[in-house]
Amino acid sequence: MILLALIALTSYAGVKGDVINNTFGYPQCQGMAYEFDGYTYMHIPYSNTRLWNQCAFPNPLHDHKLCGRPEINGRHYFCDPDKLMESEKPGAVIDGQLKELQRRTSTLCVNTNGEHESFIVAVAIIDRILIPDLNSSQLCSNECGRLEPYLDLTQSYPSFTEQQEIMRNFADNLRQKWSLGFCDNEVVIFYCREFNMVHISAGLKASQYLTKAVTDDLQDTFITYINVEGLQTGLELGLVHMISTLRTALRGFTYAHVIIIIHACTLLIVGVLLFLYFGVRKVDSDVWGYTYPWVITDWVLQFISGIWFVKAMITSMAFMSHHEKGDGLLWALGAACGATFLCFLLYFISLEF
């Protein structure tokens, strides 16, 4: 009896573990009727439109053609299956900016292929969405995150709050299914024309930089572009603005900020020393005739300003030019070329930050 009780308790616990979907907060659907049927949208024949859900939604990394991207080579991060952007050029611009964002943000981790990953941002835009009935007593989530049952639109339409929840659930599931990043470093921007609503879904690391205030402001600005400029122009301008803002927000505190702070502190120190050296020193010398303490200031100024380095270079080149073997000028030229190469190298490294 005790053994049977333990088996029953274990089975109950297993069922309870399967019933609750802890990732998105909805009960797991039970029964064959709720299994994924292989279609990512429902086709409406009379209007020739598609109602999208997140099950098997096209992934821009792999499904280039389904996402409306004509290019088949390389990686893509923009998916427009309904071709809301009638021209291919704006989509290519958005795709290019999404790739550029990865090059302009800090490296966060190394994936299984040995590639260094920074923040990854992808965009999905659709015309219409399959609307679930959030008020149903049988509301549940199937194995791929689609909410069941569907809402009877002839009887009611979701409220603004319900639309926000539908968008959130779709975007969060989409980010999980796409698996763009290796270390929760991905962000998915999802827009639905039917709701005229956009939602930003961020992974754990990205959400540390994208607070609710930041995302709310981005989403409001995006919708303002569409309302003012119209769908075509508004989509392009809104996405460009959003990606540009995300690129700045996701940078955080990088090496570039460290370099800027060091340079600012150095300029401040040089300014103070120059003021003391040219201003206070003259008064001190005229009154007391005592200039030895200012030698230290002189040394510091020469070191910070690079005068010592220039003197060392000139002295070294002069010494090498009088080399007894006669090849001193070649050594001096090589040193100058090496220094020039080092300057260019430092410049290109700085561009990465």
- pLDDT, one tens digit per residue, over 239-260 is 999 999 998 888 765 555 677 7
- Go through the domains of the chain in sequence order and give each one's CATH number: 2-249 (3.10.310.50), 306-353 (no CATH)
Distance CA 304, CA 323 (A): 31
- State pLDDT tens for residues 31-40: 766 767 666 7
Share of the chain above pLDDT 90, in %: 28
Q: Taking 60 as the threshold, does the pLDDT of residue 210 lie above it?
A: yes
Determine the residue type at 5.
A
Write out the E strands in the chain. 20-21, 26-27, 41-44, 49-52, 78-79, 109-110, 116-117, 120-126, 128-129, 140-141, 147-148, 186-192, 197-202
Q: What is the pTM of this model?
A: 0.67
Higher pLDDT, 177 or 277: 177
Is the per-residue pLDDT at 291 higher than 60? no
pLDDT for the residue numbered 37: 67
* Paired strand residues for 197: 192
Given a cut of 50, is residue 5 above it in pLDDT?
no
**Rounded Cα distance, 101 and 341, in Å:** 28
The confidence score (pLDDT) of residue 134 equals 93
What would the mean pLDDT of 92-106 be, rounded to a whole number? 87
Burial of 180 (0-12, 13-18, 19+ CB in 10 A): buried
Of the listed ranges 27-41, 65-79, 257-271, 285-299, the one predicted with least confidence: 285-299
- Predicted local distance difference test score (pLDDT) of residue 275: 66
Is the pLDDT confidence value at 129 over 70?
yes
Is the pLDDT at 116 greater than 70? The verdict is yes
**Statement: residue 213 has pLDDT above 70:** yes
For residues 34 and 142, is the Cβ–Cβ distance under 8 A?
yes
- Which pLDDT tens digit goes with each residue over 191-204? 999 999 999 999 98
d(CA 230, CA 250): 28
In this predicted structure, the answer to whether residue 130 has a pLDDT above a threshold of 80 is yes
Q: Which of 235, 55, 221 is nearest to 129 (CA)?
A: 55
Has residue 52 got a pLDDT over 70?
A: yes
What is the pLDDT at residue 61? 87
User: What pLDDT is stored for residue 326 in this prediction?
Assistant: 53
Q: Provide the pLDDT for residue 223.
A: 96
Residue 238 identity: G
Give 8 or 275, the one with higher predicted confidence.
275
11: confidence class by pLDDT, cuts 50, 70, 90: very low
